[in-house]
Amino acid sequence: MKKVFALLTVAGMLSFGTFNSVYAQAETGEETTEVVTDSAAEANAAAAKVEADKKAAEEKASAEAAAQEAVAPVPEDKSFTQVIKQKFIEGGPGFMGIVLVCLILGLAIVIERIIYLNMATTNTDKLLTNIESALSTGGVEAAKEVCRDTKGPVASIFYQGLDRSHEGIDMVEKSVVSYGGVQMGLLEKGISWISLFIALAPMLGFMGTVIGMIGAFDAIAEAGDISPAVVATGIKVALLTTVFGLIVAIILQIFYNYIVSKVDSIVNDMENASISLIDMLVKNELSNK
Instruction: With H, G, I as helix, E, B as strand and everything else as coil, classify residue 149.
Output: coil
Name the more confident of 263 and 80: 263
CB-based contact 140:162 (threshold 8 Å): yes
Expressed in angstroms, the distance from the first to the final Cα of the chain is 195
HSE-up of 12 (CA within 13 Å, CB side)? 6
Task: Select from 94, 122, 115 the least CA-distant residue to 212.
Answer: 94
| Cβ within 8 Å of residue 62, ≥6 positions away | none
**Confidence at residue 13, expressed as pLDDT on a 0 to 100 scale:** 54
CA–CA dist 275, 283 (Å, integer): 12
**Confidence at residue 277, expressed as pLDDT on a 0 to 100 scale:** 84
**Confidence at residue 213, expressed as pLDDT on a 0 to 100 scale:** 77
CA–CA dist 72, 84 (Å, integer): 26
Which pLDDT tens digit goes with each residue over 169-224?
Answer: 888 888 888 888 888 888 988 899 999 999 998 888 888 777 777 777 777 777 77
- Across 15-19, 201-205, 226-230, 246-250, the highest mean pLDDT is recorded for 246-250
| Cβ within 8 Å of residue 281, ≥6 positions away | 135, 161, 162, 165, 169, 172
> Percentage of the chain surpassing pLDDT 70?
65
**Confidence at residue 105, expressed as pLDDT on a 0 to 100 scale:** 94
Which pLDDT tens digit goes with each residue over 76-120?
Answer: 566 767 776 677 676 667 778 888 899 999 999 999 999 999 988
Name the more confident of 40 and 226: 226
**Confidence at residue 19, expressed as pLDDT on a 0 to 100 scale:** 43
C-alpha dist (Å) from residue 159 to 130, 141, 174, 268, 274: 13, 10, 13, 18, 11
Which pLDDT tens digit goes with each residue over 2-32?
Answer: 544 454 554 455 554 444 444 444 444 444 4
CA–CA dist 59, 61 (Å, integer): 5
58-71 average pLDDT score: 58
CA–CA dist 3, 15 (Å, integer): 18
Backbone angles phi, psi at 150, to 5 degrees: -110, 135
CA–CA dist 168, 281 (Å, integer): 10
